[in-house]
Amino acid sequence: MPTTPDSGPGGPSRRRASGGRRRPGPRRRLSLELIVDTAIELVEARGLSALSMRSLAERLGTAPGTLYTYVANRSALEALILDAVVARDGLPHELPGTWLEKLETWARKDWVTFREKPWVMELRRANPDFGPASVIWLDSALRVFDGTELPAQVKLDMIDALDAYVLGAATVDVQSNGRAPGPSPELSGKLDEAQLKVPTLFQALSTGATPFSASGFEFGLHCLLAGFRAIAEETRDAPPQAP
Amino acid sequence: MPTTPDSGPGGPSRRRASGGRRRPGPRRRLSLELIVDTAIELVEARGLSALSMRSLAERLGTAPGTLYTYVANRSALEALILDAVVARDGLPHELPGTWLEKLETWARKDWVTFREKPWVMELRRANPDFGPASVIWLDSALRVFDGTELPAQVKLDMIDALDAYVLGAATVDVQSNGRAPGPSPELSGKLDEAQLKVPTLFQALSTGATPFSASGFEFGLHCLLAGFRAIAEETRDAPPQAP
DNA sequence: TATAATTCTGAACAGTGTTCAAAGATGCAA
DNA sequence: TTGCATCTTTGAACACTGTTCAGAATTATA
């Protein structure tokens, strides 16, 4: 189904069957781009929870139902928003350094983005669809490995693994934000009880160690990348079955 | 369980101030345990989206408002549900093998749970609170390292990193479930266009490689654990600053 | 100018979490 | 036993949510 660029991909009425002539009906007062941009403004200002079809419509000066002429439903709108912010600042393959260094700074950049804009993370988690920008992003991620002898599947697996780790770590981090970074208040409240019931945890915390530490993300990132490097060296030393 | 089993910790009215004598008022017809168990039944049968204060109240034969005498709000209810299913089947330190093997099979077990019961994963993502069972679980996770010379912070970092990876990977996996495991339909639909715009991705997919592959989780797990092992060996060869 | 097609509006529907006054139930003291 | 204070339950209500839909308004074409 060749959806025309004029009316949105999710819009119920497909105007201009690639012919070009406008079909009867009043002119559209909005556009997909305007809707998505306004939605992003709204989310950026007041968080994802402040985005509703009603609030968005109000900001646009229309009735809520009007939006459904441009977008199939809220889920489709979120997909558009996500695709609009994917790869907003640079693509992975444009980064400097070796392929490992590119992976590293890309992961770190995503980590920063997720922490600064949790709504991007929430959208990514809730929306499985791969929009055009996401496809281009994946292509760019693969280009990071240009000049490497790794099998395509390994490249994809590395991308996925790194992506999963960053997503998971950011999720946990955003969750535990605002909580005490020191010994958890739950435990410090009943110290003697903790010493009895969870002695190992108690002892670990009393050394000054803390779960969800600031160094936590870097630690896991380092480990994962070390594993990547090892795999790459193995592959180089023992090339594919058919030499 | 230190909290009196009668009235819940989240209940607005704290009955029996550990004195013992009942205070005036009708007998409670429900209990926290009953509420949580029924909620779990409901979720297990029809998914997390089927759980609402109304549906739960109906299943319990009461009015929705009644639930708020036992639980502060929906979020608190979810926390109770989560804590009730955490470590349902075994604790990490009870697993066989070396500490690395314990970590590995624990991660794999969580992975399986998350895929089979996505609602557990959703609850974990949405609920930052560490309930009593979660604290015990963390204690058990630390005991995995018993007999190891690793610093407490490293142990916690390893636990967090592994946890984050499993959570992220399961999230992505559950998302992309139901989608074609082969070349994405979006791309195969417009092959010639893909060949032009995203040649690297196109080429990778044409070799039979696929993103979100079945092997993806195991790959990342392997890499992460390899990193752990390397760190552990480093630490053993170069013990802490003050020998 | 008439017709068909499209958009926009405003009300409505079913659902959500949550609150609250009133009613009923219970223990205790007088 | 009577009265009272306290607690639980109820059912209605509030403010939301996404979504649908008949009707009104607008536009291009025959």
Q: For position A14, what pLDDT does the model report?
A: 46
- Could you tell me which residues come within 8 angstroms of residue B190 by beta carbon, excluding any fewer than 6 positions away? none
Kindly report the nearest CA distance between residue A90 and chain B, in angstroms. 16
pLDDT one-digit tens code per residue, A139-157: 999 999 999 999 999 999 9
- Tell me which CATH code domain B1-85 carries: 1.10.10.60
Fold of domain B92-176+212-237: Tetracycline Repressor; domain 2 (1.10.357)
Tokens of B172: 């992505």
In this complex, the residue of A136, A153, A212 whose CB is nearest that of residue B198 is A136
Pure H helices in B13-151: 32-46, 53-60, 64-67, 74-85, 99-116, 118-126, 132-143
Read off the pLDDT of each residue in B160-164 and give the average, rounded to a whole number.
98
pLDDT computed for residue A181 by the predictor: 52
Q: Which residues of B touch A2 (CB under 8 A)?
A: none
Task: Show the CA angle centred on residue A119, arms to residues A116 and A125, nearest 5°.
Answer: 115
Average pLDDT for residues B188-205, to the nearest whole number?
84
Positions in chain A whose pLDDT score sits under 50? 1-10, 14-18, 242-243
Alpha-carbon gap, residue B175 to B16, rounded angstroms: 46
Domain boundaries, chain B: 1-85, 92-176+212-237
Residue B181 has pLDDT above 60, yes or no: no
Residue A114 phi/psi, 5-degree rounding, is -60, -35
User: What DSSP string runs through A40-94?
Assistant: HHHHHHH-GGG--HHHHHHHHTS-HHHHTTT-SSHHHHHHHHHHHHTTSS--GGG
Whole-angstrom distance, CA of residue A155 vs CA of residue A163 = 12
H/E stretch holding B175 reads helix B152-175
Bases of chain D with protein Cβ within 7 A:
4-13, 16-22, 25-29
Give the single-character DSSP code of A190: T
Q: Which of residues 205-224 of B touch A (CB under 8 A)?
A: 205, 207-213, 215-216, 219-220, 222-224
Give the range among A10-24, B74-88, B138-152, B154-168 with minimum mean pLDDT.
A10-24
B4 has pLDDT over 50? no
Q: What CA–CA distances, in Å, run from A235 to A126, A149, A228, B201?
A: 35, 8, 11, 21
Residue B14's pLDDT is what?
A: 46
The residue to which tokens 């009942």 are assigned: B22
B78-92 confidence digits (pLDDT tens): 999 999 999 788 899
Mark B78-106 as b/e (b = at least 16 C-beta within 10 Å): bbbbbbbbbbeeebbbebeeebbebbbeb
pLDDT at A8: 40
Q: Using one digit for the tens of pLDDT, what is the confidence trace for B109-118?
A: 999 999 999 9
Percentage of the residues of chain B whose pLDDT score is greater than 90: 70
Nearest Cα to Cα of residue B226 among B146, B136, B162:
B162
What's the one-letter identity of residue B50? A
**Could you give phi then psi for residue A21, rounded to 5 degrees?**
-75, 135
Band of residue B235 on the pLDDT scale cut at 50, 70, 90: confident
Q: Is A142 in Cβ contact with B220 (below 8 Å)?
A: no
Nearest CA to the C1' of D6 belongs to which residue? Answer: B24
pLDDT for B214: 80
The per-residue pLDDT for A203 is 93
* A69 neighbors A13 (Cβ within 8 angstroms): yes
Q: Is B234 on the interface with A (CB under 8 A)?
A: no
Q: Is the pLDDT of residue B47 over 60?
A: yes
Which class for A212: exposed (0-12), middle (13-18), buried (19 or more C-beta within 10 A)?
Answer: buried
At A89 the pLDDT is: 80
- Using an 8 Å CB-CB cutoff, list chain A residues near B210: 153, 156
* pLDDT average, residue stretch B40-52: 97
- In the predicted model, is pLDDT for residue B18 greater than 60? no
Chain B residues inside the 8 Å CB shell of A187:
135
Say if residues B144 and B90 touch (Cβ distance below 8 Å).
Answer: no
Q: Which residue has the higher pLDDT, B235 or A49?
A: A49
